[in-house]
């Protein structure tokens, strides 16, 4: 198993030191900020999005769009959208054991992975595409003006 960590970490030096301390440099890669996220999702077996603070976070939406099963924390944004065991797995912030369990569960359960991928893609198509967003706004405006 390999772990890719994409994005800019506030505590990047601490993460780098921990990777070295654990001796996992050959299995954990810090990728930094990326503009090729679709390729990363397509190359991944699962997406783990375990932010402590996240007002919305498009990572779970991008994961759904790319049909990559996702694990999120119960941070504010993902908690409002991701439905546990339906279109993703949701774990409590800072619960390392729950996160490890969720990762192993997804790696072991192909049927669950496929269910999360299918339901996530459906959520993306129904709620987060440009057409879906425009329709939702137009419907809201019509409702407010009638």
The CATH number linked to 118 is: 3.40.50.2000
Give residue 12's pLDDT: 80
Q: Whose CA is closest to 30, among 51, 52, 7, 53?
A: 7
Does residue 139 share a domain with residue 73? yes
Tell me whether residue 50 is exposed, middle or buried, using C-beta atoms within 10 angstroms of its C-beta: 0 to 12, 13 to 18, 19 or more: buried
Average pLDDT for consecutive 10-residue bins of the chain (146 residues)? 85 90 95 91 94 88 97 95 97 96 97 98 96 94 93
Q: What is the pTM of this model?
A: 0.86
Task: Please give the residue range of the domain that contains residue 13.
Answer: 1-34
Pull the structure tokens for residue 63: 């994961």
Count of domains in the chain? 2
Does residue 68 share a domain with residue 42? yes
Does residue 137 share a domain with residue 88? yes
Strands 70-73 and 89-91: parallel
In whole angstroms, give the CA distance from residue 55 to residue 59: 12
């Amino acid at each position: 198993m390999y772990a890719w960590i994409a994005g800019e970490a506030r505590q990047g030096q601490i993460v780098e030191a921990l990777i070295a301390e654990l001796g996992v440099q050959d299995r954990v890669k810090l990728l930094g900020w990326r503009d090729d996220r679709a390729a990363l999702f397509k190359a991944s077996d699962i997406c783990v999005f375990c932010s402590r603070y996240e007002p919305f976070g498009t990572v779970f939406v991008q994961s759904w769009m790319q049909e990559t099963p996702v694990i999120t924390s119960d941070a504010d944004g993902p908690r409002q959208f991701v439905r546990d065991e339906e279109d993703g797995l949701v774990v409590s912030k800072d619960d390392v054991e729950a996160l490890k369990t969720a990762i192993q569960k997804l790696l072991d359960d192909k049927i669950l992975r496929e269910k999360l991928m299918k339901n996530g893609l459906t959520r993306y198509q129904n709620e987060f595409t440009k057409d879906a967003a425009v329709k939702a706004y137009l419907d809201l405006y019509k409702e407010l003006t009638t």
